[in-house]
């Protein structure tokens, strides 16, 4: 049996407005166990380069892809018999539904919004999940969702081919390896 894949789909990236939050979203996705992110909206090659630089330095096989049409991605995912999980403050509470999601053996596409999420996303998703029903960022929702999904195991994850790494310290900073 192959290991489940967990991809993140970021809807509607806007170059001028979203570059920091989208970068943070992608870094959180990587650190918390996602295999890949796909984003729609405006193509941002600098964003892609920044994340690739992190992967090259800190290790792993995480990937970023751009796709113009979010609906094509979601429909292809569903055609492959994989689950589409939409993180939204309007969904079912994560604490009530996460055990059912963890029981599934299907690959997962986690959809996080941008400016305005098209209503069709709510209909196409297999799960509309709320990490609180209060306004907050997609970065926090994704981080908490992945943490619950992986039951904290992602916190112990190591990344192959890392050029540098942090040595945990009670005080001070210790970094192993060198940056190029």
**Which CATH code fits 6-177?**
3.40.1280.10
Residue 180, pLDDT above cutoff 50: yes
Residues 6+ apart with CB under 8 A from 161: 59, 60
Please provide residue 129's backbone torsions phi and psi, each rounded to the nearest 5 degrees: -115, 135
Q: Which residues pair with 41 in a beta bridge?
A: 13
Q: 3-state DSSP call for residue 136?
A: coil
Q: 3-state DSSP call for residue 158?
A: coil
Average pLDDT over residues 21-38: 97
Mean pLDDT rounded to a whole number for the chain: 94
Domain layout of the chain by residue ranges: 6-177
């Amino acid at each position: 049996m192959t290991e489940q894949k967990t991809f993140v789909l970021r809807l509607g990236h806007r170059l001028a407005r979203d570059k920091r939050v989208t970068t943070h979203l992608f870094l959180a996705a990587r650190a918390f166990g996602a295999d890949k992110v796909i984003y729609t909206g405006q193509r941002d090659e600098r964003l892609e380069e920044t994340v690739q630089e992190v992967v090259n330095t800190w290790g792993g096989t995480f990937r970023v892809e751009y796709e113009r049409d979010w609906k094509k991605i979601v429909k292809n995912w569903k055609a492959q018999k994989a689950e589409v999980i939409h993180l939204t403050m309007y969904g079912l509470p994560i604490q009530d539904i996460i055990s059912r999601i963890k029981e599934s053996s299907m690959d997962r596409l986690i959809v996080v919004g941008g400016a305005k999420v098209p209503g069709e996303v709510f209909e196409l998703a297999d799960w509309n999940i709320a990490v609180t029903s209060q306004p907050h960022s997609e970065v926090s929702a994704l981080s908490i969702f992945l943490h619950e999904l992986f039951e904290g195991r992602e916190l112990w994850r190591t990344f192959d081919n890392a050029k540098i790494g942090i040595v945990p310290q009670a005080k001070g900073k210790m970094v192993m390896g060198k940056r190029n």
